[in-house]
């Protein structure tokens, strides 16, 4: 059995045209190395992104009739962020099947979150072209059912610590670190102060009636500081 043949049972989908699967796994670095005429997965990624948005939008719309546009948009954004898609790609084992340039291979490209996220979207685009919308929809719901418990509850929309981690890890593998700086006040009315650091740099401080609340406030302050600067700390 070929390497791609071994991958397909893991996907739960068998390609009629295996060349589409191969294209979905071909990283753009191959074109840079071998010449612009070599096809790679960016066009399929573009297509797969649109299919993914439509499938999840439809699923959220049907499952949560009382939710307005704002919460539904935030929920969808949380589900399709780059970290979540990289996790999907990693779970399917796409990294070991990526077709990379020598340079990208040497620099750890098989485990790079952006490459895994892009390959997942490109794979979805390939399934859509090969088997149609129903096949693509079934694939998406199968993958996200495992991740989100069949979307029986709306994803958490108010998670500043998660948002901060996602923002920072777009450019770094290092997670933010929270440190309790002080505790003041009587036992029945404590005030906690926490700070959040990334790569040794303090990004923000927050206070609250619990350590958890103080960390959330610190993350909110850090998000505001980073967005005012216009780019993540690196």
Q: How far is CA 44 from the centre of its chain?
A: 18
Strand, coil or helix: what is 198? strand
d(CA 136, CA 44): 13
d(CA 192, CA 215): 9
**Which of 45, 49, 59, 130 is flagged as catalytic?**
49
Strand, coil or helix: what is 38? coil
Q: Are 128 and 56 in contact (CB under 8 A)?
A: no
The set of residues, in sequence order, having a beta carbon less than 8 Å from that of 143 and lying 6+ positions away, is 88, 92
Q: Is 49 one of the catalytic residues?
A: yes
Q: Are strands 191-198 and 177-184 parallel, antiparallel or unpaired?
A: antiparallel
Q: Are 182 and 193 in contact (CB under 8 A)?
A: yes
Helices (H) and strands (E) in the chain, counts: 11, 3
**Which of 59, 118, 121, 215 is flagged as catalytic?**
121
- The kind and range of the H/E element at 153 are none
What are the residue numbers of the active site?
49, 121
């Amino acid at each position: 059995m070929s390497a791609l043949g071994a991958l397909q049972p893991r996907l739960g989908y068998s390609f009629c045209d295996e060349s589409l699967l191969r294209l979905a796994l071909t990283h753009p670095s191959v074109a840079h190395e071998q010449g612009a005429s070599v096809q790679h997965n960016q066009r399929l990624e573009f297509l797969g992104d649109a299919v993914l948005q439509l499938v999840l939008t439809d699923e959220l719309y049907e499952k949560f009739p009382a939710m307005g546009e704002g919460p539904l948009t935030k929920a969808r954004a949380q589900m399709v962020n780059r970290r979540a898609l990289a996790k999907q790609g990693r779970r399917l084992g796409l990294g070991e099947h990526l077709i990379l340039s020598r340079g990208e291979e040497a620099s750890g490209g098989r485990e790079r979150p952006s490459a895994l996220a892009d390959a997942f979207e490109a794979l979805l685009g390939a399934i859509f072209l090969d088997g149609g919308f129903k096949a693509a929809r079934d694939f998406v719901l199968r993958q996200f059912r495992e991740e989100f418990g069949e979307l029986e509850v709306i994803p958490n929309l108010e998670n500043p610590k998660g948002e901060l981690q996602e923002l920072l890890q777009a450019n770094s593998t290092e997670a933010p670190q929270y440190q309790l700086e002080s505790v003041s006040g009587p036992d029945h009315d404590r005030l906690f102060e926490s700070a959040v650091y990334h790569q040794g740099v303090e990004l923000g401080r927050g206070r609250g009636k619990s350590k958890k609340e103080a960390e959330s406030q610190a993350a909110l302050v850090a998000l505001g500081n980073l967005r005012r600067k216009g780019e993540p700390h690196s």
